[in-house]
Structure 1
Amino acid sequence: MTAEAEIPALPTGRPNGCPFDPPELYTRLREDDPVAKVRCPGGMDAWLVTRYGDVRALLADRSMSSRGGASVHVNAGGDPNEEPPPGSIIQLDGEAHSRVRRLVVAEFTVRRVETMRAYVQRLVEDHIDAMLAKDGPVDLVEDFALPIPSLVICELLGVPYADRGRFQTQSTVLVSTDMTLEEGQRAFGELAGYLGTLFEGKVRDPQDDLISRIIARAEAAGDPLTMPELIILGLSLLVAGHETTANMIALSTLALLDHPEERDTVLAEPENAIEELLRYLSVVQFGVLRYATEDVRVGDRAVKAGEWLVAALNSANRDEAQFTAADKLDFHREAPRKHIAFGFGTHQCVGQQLARVELQEALTRLFRRIPDLRLAVPRESVRYKDNTLVYGVRELPITWG
């Protein structure tokens, strides 16, 4: 049990020389103190939950509120007691959350997402062609990993891709743990203003896109969304829809460059390979925040109403009690889909099927088209996003031939 004087602070660093591994603290806590008190930059102490079974149970517990969203615990200066904004698919609970999620979930079914696969394939092939046409090294992040999910989410939401510079800049601020309160408010205000103008146009003149269909679906149900609700929902989908997948594409590429013997498996069994990469990398790096609305037990710990908990997804996905040789990237692992990289329970990532398709197509086509892909810089010079909610690489210079 962690003594008061020994309460560790979040976030904590990754092991030296092991950029894909979660902090070493998590390994110790899983063994000795799986529900441990930690001190958060957001101004609160919280229970850090590190074992797979406990994390899964926590995220499935409807008495746990998601009011703090995914990040307020690692953003200094935020207000953990601020009421969730209307329309937030991430922060709302109960029927308010179900109302918003019902409007969105029909857009991300397996069948619906499969109809987008051919579009994703064309994007991937076009971007590989563009990279191969260049002389010298290219940055895989800028030329491949970022534009593909950005184009997909823009197409889906009906956001002009020509405006990507605006929302990507603001998105970078919003997922940073180093932003000041003023920087976060300014980025949020600019992006909300942009989306408000765009969505007002869709109310007047509906198009064939997700936002227009959601507007129509809500009105048909006799419960139309307000413009503030629509803006928050659209902002959440836009930011989450490209940040997580872009970082997964680039980080997965680096992992495969480190494990060249596994590339044939990725090409032969892409579905299982992607699930294992999702488990192994777990890019939502600072966990998911929950608030206890009543007294509960988490593992062997008594948690009181009003206390905060952090579900450490990356720790749960490296739990040896659930995954044999959990720190090893193993594409032949049994039941790789048991990972919780997309969360679990009622707030599980609504866009996970689309992310899977993008990752399958991006990685298999990249290594099939460029089998001799390699880093264009020394391995130790690669820089990582240690100060963002979604882990990844800042740049990934690559070459071939």
Structure 2
Amino acid sequence: MPTSLEENFYPMERVPQCPFDLPPQLQEIARTAPVSRVRIWDGSSPWLITGYAEARQVLTDARASSDQRLPGYTFAAPQAKAFHTRNRSMPTVDDPEHAHLRRMVTADFSNRRMESLRSVFQQTVDDLIDGLLAAGDSADLFADLAVPMSSKAICEVLGVHHREGERFAALGRVMAVPGSPPEVHAKVVEDMRALLGSLVEAARAEPGDGVIGHLVRAGELPDEEIVATALLLMAAGHGATAHMTTLGTMALLTHPEQVALVRDSQDPVFIANAVEELLRYLSVAHLGRRRVAKEDIEVGGVLIRAGEGIIVATDTANHDPRAFDGDPDELDLTRDARHHLAFGFGVHQCLGQQLSRVLLQVVYGTLYRRIPTLELAVPLRDMSYTLDLAIYGVKALPVKW
């Protein structure tokens, strides 16, 4: 195990040949110290929480603040600091402000609402797969299925009309794919902000049935905050589900016995459980949940002082053998993984988790059944992975059948 803080630079590097494994250095830290110091990009040394029980404790402790205005808060990257400084929304504030904002849109992301859209999502996935099959015997599953699927879904939830949907999807594709020069990414964010602003303005006359219309109708937020909320929901819901679709497909296709279970199952309960295990196993939010201590907190026998930054590594927590039966480093679709932390925990857990769940149930339950000979077109070692976004995944997923 590294012996100096200088060596413990977070996030740690993965092994490209083992894309589903956590970084070896991070695994070693998790095995020996559920609470330890690391160094990050800005030179600060926040606490890293790697244990499952310790993660749940921090994520439910009101003394561990999500308020990014507080000194000591640790941002994942300079871009994240710039974005969130301008866009204050649910993940960046504490209760009661957080609860007030969340209540405004809870119904739009409820399990009942998502289930009511399941047939819409099913039609979207079927149409996209029809397009793949009509185009030939190979595709980039990320660009040709995952991104348009998640884009159409979030458009449906936000209430983006079909006439703006293509422009919205085009901007979303750029935002979801890493590697763009900073000035290009910044321009896309501004274009998305302008588009959402025009949708908010249009909703003043005709609110419609979606998040934007509901926030306008509620009349409690200025346009700028409605735009910030919609932008956050778009970025979070769009990228995470798209990358989870492709990385999950990679994991399944490299575990033939597991993909066979999904392909051959007609049981929606099994498919739902498989989604939970994939969410746990992959834990694509790989840069941790960020907090800052407002008061002294003792976690795992370690005293975290007021003003010190905290990173909750939910990916290592989801591989904690104290919390999951069997070998948590192995993919087992029969495992009960419903208590995973892939969506966080506590009051700030991901608002769009039911959207992701239903979408993933639909796409995993459909894709391998409709294309039973699906396989990777290139070896794992030749894949290019996203390491500069909050969500871990692949830049492209070439497949054939």
- TM-score, with normalisation over the residues of structure 1? 0.90
Aligned to 1:264: 260
CA contact 1:120–1:152 (8 Å) conserved in 2: yes
Aligned to 1:161: 165
The verdict on how the C-alpha distance between 1:84 and 1:72 changes in structure 2, with shifts beyond 3 A counting, is farther
Measured in 2, the distance between the counterparts of 1:112 and 1:141 equals: 26
Q: Aligned ranges for residues 138-177 of structure 1 at < 5 Å? A: 138-159=139-160, 160-169=164-173, 171-172=175-176
CA contact 2:176–2:238 (8 Å) conserved in 1: no
Measured in 2, the distance between the counterparts of 1:67 and 1:374 equals: 44
CA contact 1:72–1:78 (8 Å) conserved in 2: no
Alignment: residue pair count = 389
Q: Does 1:382 align with 2:383?
A: yes
Q: Does 1:57 align with 2:53?
A: no
1:162 partner letter: E
Measured in 2, the distance between the counterparts of 1:243 and 1:166 equals: 13
Please, which moves more after superposition, 315-324 or 375-384? 375-384
Q: Aligned ranges for residues 365-376 of structure 1 at < 5 Å? A: 365-376=366-377
Aligned to 2:338: 337
Q: Aligned ranges for residues 1-400 of structure 1 at < 5 Å? A: 6-68=6-68, 73-76=75-78, 79=81, 85-86=87-88, 88-159=89-160, 160-169=164-173, 171-172=175-176, 180=182, 186-216=187-217, 218-219=218-219, 224-266=220-262, 267=265, 268=267, 269-323=270-324, 324-333=326-335, 335-400=336-401
CA contact 1:178–1:387 (8 Å) conserved in 2: no
Aligned-pair identity (%): 38
The verdict on how the C-alpha distance between 1:77 and 1:377 changes in structure 2, with shifts beyond 3 A counting, is closer
State the Cα deviation string for residues 372-399 of structure 1 (Å, max 9, x = none).
1111223322221122210111111111
Unaligned stretches of 5+ in structure 2?
none
Measured in 1, the distance between the counterparts of 2:334 and 2:203 equals: 46
CA contact 2:151–2:169 (8 Å) conserved in 1: no
The verdict on how the C-alpha distance between 1:261 and 1:342 changes in structure 2, with shifts beyond 3 A counting, is same
Partner SS state of residue 395, structure 2 = coil
Partner SS state of residue 44, structure 1 = coil
Measured in 2, the distance between the counterparts of 1:265 and 1:41 equals: 42
Partner SS state of residue 389, structure 2 = coil
- TM-score, with normalisation over the residues of structure 2? 0.90
Please, which moves more after superposition, 20-29 or 111-120? 20-29
CA contact 2:141–2:396 (8 Å) conserved in 1: yes
> RMSD in angstroms over aligned alpha carbons?
2.4
1:57 partner letter: Q
CA contact 2:168–2:192 (8 Å) conserved in 1: no
CA contact 2:286–2:390 (8 Å) conserved in 1: yes
The verdict on how the C-alpha distance between 1:170 and 1:399 changes in structure 2, with shifts beyond 3 A counting, is closer
2:134 partner letter: A
The verdict on how the C-alpha distance between 1:301 and 1:262 changes in structure 2, with shifts beyond 3 A counting, is same
Measured in 2, the distance between the counterparts of 1:30 and 1:339 equals: 16
The verdict on how the C-alpha distance between 1:394 and 1:284 changes in structure 2, with shifts beyond 3 A counting, is same
